Structure 1
Amino acid sequence: MDEVRRRERRVRYGPYLDGPDPLAPPFDVRAAMEEIGRDVMEGASPRQALQELLRRGHDGRRGLDDLTRQVWQRRRDLQRDNRLDGTLQELRELLQRALDAERAELARRDTDDARFREMQLDALPPDTGGAVRELDSYDWQSASAREAYEQIRDLLGRELLDQRFQGMKEALQNATPQDVERIREMLDDLNSLLANHAQGRATTEQFAGFMRRHGEFFPENPRTTDELIDLLAARAAAAQRMLNSMSARQRAELAELAQQAFGDPRLAQSLAQLDAQLQGLRPGEDWTGSGRFRGDNPLGMGEATRAMEELAQLDALAEQLAQSYPGARLEDVDLEALESLLGEQARVDAHRLAELEHELTRQGLFERAADGSLQLSPKALRRLGESALREVVDRIGGRRGERETRRAGAAGEPTGATRPWTFGDTEAWNVPRTLINAQLRRAGGDERRLDVTDVEIVETEQRSRAAVALLVDTSWSMVAEGRWLPMKRTALALHQLISTRFRGDDLSLIAFGRHAQTVELGELVGLDGAYAQGTNLHHALLLAGRHLRRHPDATPVVLVVTDGEPTAHLTPGGEALFDYPPSPYTIRATIGEVDRLTGQDAAFTFFVLGDDPRLAAFMDGVARRCGGRVVAPTLDGLGAEVVADYLRLRRR
């Protein structure tokens, strides 16, 4: 027992210090939602805001832009560092070695035959393909020259096969005639299989027999004829793109040299037949593309073909990461290809982004509008409102406790008494009284644990209500001067406060530019700035009056956020007339509506943004006339000033 206690005393717990916390969530959904909300309020659509978040990255993870940049860097490096004529260069070197050795041997012989042979060598075509063809029947006098020439044939065969069958260049090193014969048999069987498949015949048994006999040539182990065709067509198309990327002279040389592969032109013919069948079976592959390689590192034909395959993979990844096609999702990104080309960390970052996109959707933060577009859900708006309200509370500081109280609401203040619950009551339960009632009932023989007749609720007295109209200027100057986002966050904070703390109050959001309109919170959050002249405060006050008259028993509160003088008013016919400087008709119509609301005992506060002296003078005069206040907040303090003033006015 003592030993156990000593071991327990040696146990120490502390923070995890070896890298990121393994128990931490993979991403912060709330922070991601705030970033999306900020972009939406600045004018982006929810879809654009989500894509922008994924492009930027989140919570220390690289975004799609960084991954795409890495893809293009890899692509540039591949083309910048390499060139495609490695096989031609190696063949030229082998040919020159053979000719030099042969000429050295002939120079040692003082015979007419030696001189004749030297003349034959001098008369060879200047291009490598033509020279190799002419030397096909030449009787080499030098053993080293003959060996170099045979290496040319061997290299050509291995390179041609390596283009289409992975690992063949190494596997056929020092190939024997028997090896070459097995390859010809495989190609004949393969062309027969593809021909039958192209004609619509059943090839299941033929494919199984083919793989039993020639499976060693296909380490990828395709399971069906179609999988085999897909595999071969991708490589054949890459080989064709490699040829397309070379000059016409280089292509002609390779075409002529191919006839000398393994010293048997039938190999080139079988490969040409294979390519033709694959192109007919998979016309959707890229058979016409090309690439520009300008580096110093020469690639063999097989290596160059794989380089073209890698370029195609990189292009496909770039398209997947761009997410620019209809219905694009991060689940479309080929994570295995991403890891193969860019490393494990790239796969991890892309996977985390896909998880974040899925989680934002799963939590119901987006929803489809009637027109099919993506929009923020009420749940997302509540989260944005919570964030905006937290910022306001932090700025108010000393009044934090008052904002955080949960006693506020339509039900009013508790009186200390309770009463039985009746249908329609929304007041809180009195839990102790409810449980006592249940116990007394069970003591009388009723076995039910809890019944609706047991419930008693807290008796409250009705609190005063407020009808609030928040009038926000949406003219172009609000966008141009950087006031768009603070205005929207202010509306979010006030809406969140009223909907969660003062549910008995009724808030109307009214946006006014050339015209005014009553908007829902989601509409205001997603509202785009539009270039339209006019600040129609008169129309906004008309809508505010309509809202206040619907709640005659509530305290009327009018809060106006603007950065410009009234420059438009509504005619009796519903037309908005604009004039700058403000016309006397606009001023008269606006003041008349202020007077009408003042007669309804409405309390006014004007939040003046900017430093326009004409606007300040106008608002001072209006405030004196209606007994209201003028506040000139900073943009950062706008939300705090509006919320604090609302709380002050509703306690009147």
Structure 2
Amino acid sequence: MSYRYGEYRDGPDPLAPPYDVRSALDQMGDSVLSGSNPAHALRDLLRQGLPGARDRRGLDDLLREVRRRRRELRERGRLDGTLERARALLDRALEQERAALFPDPSDEARLLEAELDGLPEDTASAIRELTDYRWRSQEARRTFEELRDLLRREVLDSQFRGMRQALADPDPEVMERVRRMMSDLNDMLDRDSRGEHTQADFDDFMSKYGDMFPETPRNLEELVDILARRAAATQRLLASLTPDQREELADLMSQTLEQAGLDQEMRRLGEALHNRRPDLAWNTPERLTGEDPMGMGDAVTALDELADLTQLEAALRQDYPGARLDDIDEAAIRRALGRSAVDDLEALRQVERELEQQGYLRRQRGKLELTPKAVRRLGETALRRVFASLDAGHHGDHDQTDAGSAGELTGSSRPWRFGDEQPIDVVRTVVNAVRRGGGGAGAVTLSVDDFEVAETERRTAAAVCLLVDLSYSMALRGTWAAAKQTALALQALVGSKFPQDSVQIIGFSNYARVLAPDELAGLEWDMVQGTNLHHALLIAGRHLDRHPDFEPVVLVVTDGEPTAHLRRNGSAAFEWPPTSETLELTLAEVDKMTRRRATLNVFMLADDERLRDFVNEVARRNGGRVFSSSADRLGEYVVSDFLRTRRAR
């Protein structure tokens, strides 16, 4: 026996490793750290495609394919091809008939010529007048029959895709089978409207007439969807023609169906389809710009695909509130772009699902948020960025996987208590288990009471306050993203290297508020006027007062002087240029910080004379330092200053 191996072609590779959702989160993190909110970051990820995923297209790639396909369809041809061809066949039949009548000198020949000369101008009326005409020319008779066969095929093909081939041979038995099919279809729809339809009824219908439906629907709903979309496309074809063309083609269709004995059943079917799918664009005109005339069936197919692509384009844009990938119709993707596009869409959906299922994203009241788990990872990413820019030779804050997070060991140990972060004393823990009698048969069984921890020197704890300006000017100057990244980095630094510290991040614009750690990633600047540093310092002072034994650390990030303060009634007062009352109240809070022995360091993000005067006064009163930092080095400055302060203590 011999075997041949090749590329797997029936969908995604079943042996491919699962996609690492963390890389998707990191890519989202880049957008968040650049100032985006989680919803926009996820949208950007899905638009760009999956990082590291081979040949996996994003929504933008699929959108480009859809738009390219729409252009191709629009440029394919003209919608009046059936009218043009019908007119050409009619003219040819009339010329052939006149050629046969011209040599005949009889009065009957002249009467027939007069009858031909008196035919109406429009094609439909002329064909109706010629229905009972006695043709002298056999060639003309065959051409006229060819015209009627053409109309029958095109009209039915416009309603039932693929009917053109079935009607290629004008066999009366074939037309009788079409009539039976339409009657059975309408009866099945009537039974379904009464709640009497079963899947067995549909299967029996398809066993009889399945060859007339190349789409091979699996149930009645799929069949209704196929027929309704095609019927709606036929109505859009009529709406897209000029009024004269519309009237002429509608008359031809009515005449053809009447002669075929299908007019009643077709009218009945059209009403049922419209009632079931009123959401379709039944009378919306569409403009095709091609030069080649298209048959009616081909034109309806093109308009049906264009409607699909229009809806697909709107879903792929994902630019409406609450947009999700589940809104994109997989069947429409398959029809328009093929199986590979379905696989690409499923890969994107899997990432969106995994981010939620693995606890990185959550939806609260329709709003997408990052969970604390995701915020911690983004904070670590922000911290790595900051450390990457620091001078490695001057700081001891490098990753070290074999070190503990407590102080220096004292050499003694004590029983473990819940919440202890000191390292486990393995030797004493095992000895306690053996003494208790937990050893036997070469194994030691540990109990909670056996554990002991190694005592470490007491480490000074700090109460850290980071005050971040959220005012509109931060967005205008392009410094908001750096401020958000700095807050995340400081939160991660304190949580990982100084867990005994108590950190509070305060955002301030016209008012100030405490920001929860999991709120930082989705935080956006406030489109309001006012820089209320007075209120922010009040909140920070309360945090320091709640931790009287902690070393106070206060860091302020701002790009403007105070322009607002808090009134006694709790409302904010804004004025620009700032009033003396605003400056006096703010500096009074600075003085309180000084009495608490809290050093207040200010990081300026704008080179403004009034701001410089204010922060210099703060430094004079408090003894803190002033940093004039560019936005791209803000995180480096804040983290370095915090580490310097912690080492000094």
TM-score normalised per structure 2? 0.87
Whether the aligned pair in 2 keeps the contact of 1:517 and 1:540 (CA below 8 Å) is: yes
Distance 1:490 1:407, change over 3 A: farther
Distance 1:25 1:536, change over 3 A: farther
Pick which of 553-562 and 69-78 moved more: 69-78
Pick which of 234-243 and 416-425 moved more: 416-425
Q: Does 1:390 align with 2:384?
A: yes
- Given the alignment, which residue of 456, 462, 467 partners 1:471? 467
Secondary structure at 2:75 match in 1: helix
Q: Distance in 1 between matches of 2:614 and 2:247?
A: 85
Distance 1:537 1:282, change over 3 A: closer
Whether the aligned pair in 1 keeps the contact of 2:37 and 2:523 (CA below 8 Å) is: no
Secondary structure at 1:636 match in 2: helix
The answer for the alignment partner of 1:153 in structure 2 is: 148
Secondary structure at 2:114 match in 1: helix
Q: How far apart are residue 139 of structure 1 and its match?
A: 2.2
Whether the aligned pair in 2 keeps the contact of 1:430 and 1:456 (CA below 8 Å) is: yes
Q: Distance in 2 between matches of 1:471 and 1:530?
A: 15
Q: Does 1:489 align with 2:485?
A: yes
The answer for the alignment partner of 2:367 in structure 1 is: 373
The answer for the alignment partner of 1:11 in structure 2 is: none
The answer for the alignment partner of 1:506 in structure 2 is: 502
Q: How far apart are residue 422 of structure 1 and its match?
A: 4.3
Secondary structure at 1:297 match in 2: coil
Q: How far apart are residue 280 of structure 1 and its match?
A: 4.2
1:364-411 C-alpha deviation (Å, 9 max, x unpaired): 122344x55332211121111011100111111314542435788874
Secondary structure at 1:561 match in 2: strand
1:480-513 C-alpha deviation (Å, 9 max, x unpaired): 2111111111111111000111011111212233
Q: Does 1:165 align with 2:160?
A: yes
1:207-237 C-alpha deviation (Å, 9 max, x unpaired): 5654444343234444555554444333223
Whether the aligned pair in 1 keeps the contact of 2:162 and 2:213 (CA below 8 Å) is: no
Pick which of 284-293 and 545-554 moved more: 284-293
Whether the aligned pair in 1 keeps the contact of 2:175 and 2:260 (CA below 8 Å) is: no
1:287-343 C-alpha deviation (Å, 9 max, x unpaired): 333322232122212112212221221123123323356654313323343243234
Whether the aligned pair in 1 keeps the contact of 2:599 and 2:624 (CA below 8 Å) is: yes
Q: Does 1:185 align with 2:180?
A: yes
Secondary structure at 1:289 match in 2: coil
Distance 1:269 1:459, change over 3 A: same
Q: Distance in 1 between matches of 2:400 and 2:203?
A: 75
Unaligned 5+ runs, structure 2: 1-11
Q: Distance in 1 between matches of 2:204 and 2:238?
A: 33
The answer for the alignment partner of 2:308 in structure 1 is: 313
Q: Distance in 2 between matches of 1:255 and 1:71?
A: 31
The answer for the alignment partner of 1:87 in structure 2 is: 82
The answer for the alignment partner of 1:536 in structure 2 is: 532
The correspondence of residues 297-446 of structure 1 with structure 2, limited to 5 A, is: 297-323=292-318, 328-369=323-364, 371=365, 373-398=367-392, 399=394, 401-405=396-400, 411-422=406-417, 425-438=420-433, 441=437
1:25-66 C-alpha deviation (Å, 9 max, x unpaired): 676644543554565567655334423433344537543344
1:217 maps to a residue whose letter is: M
1:120-149 C-alpha deviation (Å, 9 max, x unpaired): 222222221122222222222222211111
Unaligned 5+ runs, structure 1: 1-19
Secondary structure at 1:375 match in 2: strand
Q: Distance in 2 between matches of 1:649 and 1:339?
A: 61
The answer for the alignment partner of 2:450 in structure 1 is: 454
Whether the aligned pair in 1 keeps the contact of 2:605 and 2:630 (CA below 8 Å) is: yes
Pick which of 89-98 and 271-280 moved more: 271-280
Whether the aligned pair in 1 keeps the contact of 2:325 and 2:349 (CA below 8 Å) is: yes
The correspondence of residues 17-96 of structure 1 with structure 2, limited to 5 A, is: 29-37=21-29, 39=31, 45-59=37-51, 62-96=57-91
Secondary structure at 1:416 match in 2: strand
1:224-276 C-alpha deviation (Å, 9 max, x unpaired): 55554444333223222222222332233234434664993523444334323
Q: Percent identity?
A: 49
Q: Distance in 2 between matches of 1:350 and 1:88?
A: 41
The answer for the alignment partner of 1:608 in structure 2 is: 604
Q: How far apart are residue 552 of structure 1 and its match?
A: 1.9
Whether the aligned pair in 2 keeps the contact of 1:438 and 1:451 (CA below 8 Å) is: yes
Distance 1:203 1:254, change over 3 A: farther
Pick which of 556-565 and 230-239 moved more: 230-239
Q: What's the C-alpha RMSD, in Å, of the aligned pairs?
A: 3.3
2:236 maps to a residue whose letter is: R
1:33 maps to a residue whose letter is: L
Secondary structure at 1:564 match in 2: coil
Q: How far apart are residue 173 of structure 1 and its match?
A: 1.4
1:88 maps to a residue whose letter is: L
The correspondence of residues 129-148 of structure 1 with structure 2, limited to 5 A, is: 129-148=124-143
Q: Does 1:118 align with 2:104?
A: no
Q: How far apart are residue 447 of structure 1 and its match?
A: 6.5
Whether the aligned pair in 1 keeps the contact of 2:70 and 2:309 (CA below 8 Å) is: yes
In the alignment of these two chains, the number of paired residues is: 632
Q: How far apart are residue 543 of structure 1 and its match?
A: 2.4
The answer for the alignment partner of 1:16 in structure 2 is: none
Secondary structure at 1:81 match in 2: coil
Whether the aligned pair in 2 keeps the contact of 1:467 and 1:548 (CA below 8 Å) is: yes
Whether the aligned pair in 2 keeps the contact of 1:43 and 1:529 (CA below 8 Å) is: no
1:306 maps to a residue whose letter is: T
Secondary structure at 1:137 match in 2: coil
1:451-472 C-alpha deviation (Å, 9 max, x unpaired): 2343221121111111112122
Whether the aligned pair in 2 keeps the contact of 1:410 and 1:463 (CA below 8 Å) is: no
Q: Distance in 2 between matches of 1:381 and 1:308?
A: 48
